[in-house]
Structure 1
Amino acid sequence: MSVVRHINALDPSASPLDYYGYELRRHRETAGLTQKQLGAIVNYTGSLVGQVETARKLPTAEFSERVDAALGTGGLLSRLLGLVLRSQLPAWFQQVAELEARATEIATFHTHMVHGLLQTANYARAVLGTMDPTNLDDRTTVRLARQRIFEKEEPPVFWAILGEAALRQEIGNPSVMRGQLERLLSYEDDPRVNIQVLPFKAGAHAGLTGPFDVFRFASDPVIVYTEGYGTGHPTANPDTVKDCSLRYDHLQAAALSIKDSAQLIRDVMEEHHGEHDAVA
């Protein structure tokens, strides 16, 4: 059968997804289970187990955790998952995800959209579905997987400056936006995730040339990242880093405080989304 040949030909060095499938199959066979039997144990179909083993379907966190427990892998598949999902990002963005995973501090400035590390599933789906509705489930899963950096034992300190337009631009529908604004408010008391809003009334500001991210590391040079249509531009050029670091300082000075930013987010929720599950 063609499926059997495909399984036997699976090259674990071809990609992280292939390696995951290879290890899943190896541990399943060591346990003496068929795909159907393992599926019954972890409450998935044998067909889905086979699709993951042959690198035709992305695994999820829940699937990985259940299989790790069933096969006694010591958490191997769950540890591989982040690498697998990161490898499914567009090639030009994979380096950025690696920077996010290694950074000790991330500072972002975005004017019109909530940063991917803060997006809800519904908001991310609405953003990703614009102009390209294909494979939305997998693409959304891959984007949200980047947020696993906040679950690390030593997560990065995250600073986000959002333009007021990002709060008011209705992505998806009112319910999606309300959920996204609630997500932003959920970080209000988290000292590692700090959200400030640059209000319209700030006028001309240091970020008029566009959004950018600054990544700082324990020992590596600081990296500044900017983005175009389908391209990313990371640089460690000292002049660029110095310029963008100064711009970020000025943006933080012009932005509302963390407390006042949270209040503005609440105000926008009341103003535009108050009819949906009014705030208690």
Structure 2
Amino acid sequence: MASAPSLRRRRLVGALKRLRLDAGMTLAEAGEAAGFSEAKVSRIETFRFQVSGDDTYSLAKALGASEETANALVKLARSAKQRGWWHDAASEGSGLGTFADFLELESEAREIFEFQETLIPGRLQTAGYAAAVIRADLPNATDDEVDRRVKLRLDRQSRSSAPLWTVVFEAALEMPVGGPEVMCEQLDHLSEVAKRPGIQVQVLPKRSRGHAAIGTSFTLFELTDGATFAHIDTLTGGLLIEDSAQVEIYRKARLGLQAAAADFDGSDTLVKRARDNHRSTP
């Protein structure tokens, strides 16, 4: 049985098909414009043909793509067969599953927005906090497995350079994950990284009367090829949202969360207040 197409390939094919539909072209018309047969375009769109970078450029331009978009899709086509750094982690037993898609998006994003209701975002976690979260998620995990997963999380932090804007619900600051010492270290770290270029941290106060994503933590990825994906956290690794109409719902939720959250100075005050409360815990 053939393996499922990679996320990169799904993104490429999806982008080419959207260009064709937006141009109002049939498969035959798209093929004629690009100098391909109708069957070739059909095989591309049904994942029966691995489209090359040159063919991608020809087809994208024939479908009316700008030079910038066409070049971005060529880059995507040429990387579709490449293995990401996280595949080595998977082969070592980290059990990535569908989280590999998340890591691919994170590695290729030009901007990331993340909302977390109950946890500090993974890219901003300390090793101690990450280990405590992993042990809570996987109570039967061995020490070696926990160590591998913590290493993966720290590798993500060193490799992720896309600007990150995060909104964290205040309750996530108060949950004693790992105990007071771990939380104090984590919140000190959160306050510090919020001062770094490219990282924006807002806290949504508990006094907020509901919010635009109540009950749902999610991440929005704005990619270099112009695509946008949403990712929802689940117990089994997460759900990827690709449909543009559904992604737009998360875009609107982002705006609502940013508007409802405290400003940056007020957010830092809430982080430090939570830290002091943990510090005073026996």
TM value normalised by structure 1: 0.65
Which portions of structure 1, spanning 4 or more consecutive aligned residues, are displaced by more than 6 angstroms? Answer: none
| Change over 3 Å in CA distance of 1:146–1:132 after alignment to 2 | farther
Per-residue CA distance 1:146-186 (angstroms, 9 max, x = gap): 11234xxxx21101110001100000011100011011011
- Identical-pair percentage: 29
Secondary structure of the structure 2 residue equivalent to 1:195: strand
Is 2:248 the counterpart of 1:238?
no
Structure 1 residue runs without a partner (length 5+): 1-79
Is 2:133 the counterpart of 1:133?
no
In structure 1, C-alpha distance between the alignment counterparts of 2:206 and 2:200, rounded to whole Å? 20
Per-residue CA distance 1:100-125 (angstroms, 9 max, x = gap): 11111110001011111111100010
Structure 2 residue runs without a partner (length 5+): 1-83
In structure 2, C-alpha distance between the alignment counterparts of 1:185 and 1:271, rounded to whole Å? 15
Aligned position for 2:217: 211
Is 2:169 the counterpart of 1:163?
yes
In structure 2, C-alpha distance between the alignment counterparts of 1:143 and 1:187, rounded to whole Å? 16
In structure 1, C-alpha distance between the alignment counterparts of 2:194 and 2:101, rounded to whole Å? 29
CA contact (8 A) 1:149 1:156 kept: no
Aligned position for 2:89: 85
Q: State the aligned residue count.
A: 194
Per-residue CA distance 1:177-228 (angstroms, 9 max, x = gap): 0011011011232230111000001121101141110000121410001122
In structure 1, C-alpha distance between the alignment counterparts of 2:100 and 2:183, rounded to whole Å? 27
Aligned position for 2:114: 108
Is 2:233 the counterpart of 1:223?
no
RMSD, aligned CA: 2.1
In structure 2, C-alpha distance between the alignment counterparts of 1:196 and 1:126, rounded to whole Å? 23
| Change over 3 Å in CA distance of 1:252–1:109 after alignment to 2 | same
| Change over 3 Å in CA distance of 1:148–1:85 after alignment to 2 | farther
CA contact (8 A) 2:115 2:167 kept: yes
Q: CA deviation at 1:231?
A: 3.6
In structure 1, C-alpha distance between the alignment counterparts of 2:281 and 2:212, rounded to whole Å? 36
| Change over 3 Å in CA distance of 1:245–1:172 after alignment to 2 | same
Aligned position for 1:194: 200
In structure 1, C-alpha distance between the alignment counterparts of 2:131 and 2:215, rounded to whole Å? 27
Is 2:108 the counterpart of 1:99?
no
Aligned position for 1:261: 267
| Change over 3 Å in CA distance of 1:89–1:143 after alignment to 2 | farther
Secondary structure of the structure 2 residue equivalent to 1:104: strand
In structure 2, C-alpha distance between the alignment counterparts of 1:272 and 1:235, rounded to whole Å? 36
CA contact (8 A) 2:169 2:205 kept: yes
In structure 2, C-alpha distance between the alignment counterparts of 1:143 and 1:83, rounded to whole Å? 14
TM value normalised by structure 2: 0.64
CA contact (8 A) 1:157 1:192 kept: yes
